[in-house]
């Protein structure tokens, strides 16, 4: 298992998704605003999962900040 190889695969994935980026106007964000499109959905489910995996696995980190959403003010 080579971590560098994985990194390059991941980087390619990011580049592919980003180069296909379009401008989405403020009034076109109804789908993005759906709760099921949030990076972190159910907050309590996410907290519990993170807590369980953190205490059973050696890995840690992956703080998920928010982003996307409705672009409302």
Partner 1 sequence: MARADTPPTNTNIAYRVSSYEEDSLSEKYLLAGSAERYDITIHQFQLVTPVGDNYGLTLNSSVESMSGASPWYAVDAVDGEKSIVMSGATIHEERRDYNLGLRRYLDNGTVGVNIGTSRENDYEAWSGGVDIERHFNNDLTTLASGVSYSSDDINPSDASLFNRVTDESKSTASLFFSVSQIINQKSLFQSSLNITSHDGFLTDPYKLQDRRPDSRIQLAWSNAYRHFITDLDAALHLDMRLYDDDFGVNSLTLEMRWYQNLGNNFQLIPRLRYYSQSAADFFTPVNDFTGTQEFNSSDYRLSAYGALSAGLQARAIFDEITVSFTLERYITADSYSLFDEDSSPALVDFTRMSLGFGYSF
Partner 2 sequence: MTLLVLIVVNLIFTCVNAIAADVGDIALDVSLPVLISSEQTQQVSLNQYRGQIVYLDFWASWCPPCLVSMPIMNELRNRLQSQGIAFEVVAVNVDSDPEDGMDFLEEKPVDFVVLSDPQGKTPAAYKIKGMPTSYLINPAGVIEFSHEGFRPGDGEKIEEEILKLLENSQ
**DSSP assignment string, 43-68:** HHHHHHHHHHHHHHSS----------
Residues within window 14-73 making contact with partner 1, judged by CB under 8 A: 14, 17-18, 20-26, 28-29, 31-45, 47-48, 52-53, 56-73
Burial pattern 47-72, b for ≥16 Cβ within 10 A else e, equals eeeeeeeeeeeeeeeeeeeeeeeeee
The interface partner of residue 12, options being partner 1, partner 2, none and the CB cut-off 5 to 8 Å by kind, is: none
Q: Is residue 5 a contact point for partner 1 (CB under 8 A)? A: no
Q: Using CB under 8 A as the criterion, which residues of the chain lie in contact with partner 1 when the complex forms?
A: 1, 3, 6-7, 10, 13-14, 17-18, 20-26, 28-29, 31-45, 47-48, 52-53, 56-73
């Amino acid at each position: 298992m080579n971590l560098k190889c994985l990194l390059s695969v991941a980087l390619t994935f990011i580049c592919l998704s980003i180069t296909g980026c379009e401008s989405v106007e403020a009034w076109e964000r109804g789908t993005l605003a759906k709760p099921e499109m949030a990076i972190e959905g159910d907050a309590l489910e996410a907290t519990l999962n993170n807590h369980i995996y953190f205490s059973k696995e050696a890995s840690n980190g992956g703080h998920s900040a928010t982003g996307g959403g409705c672009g409302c003010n």
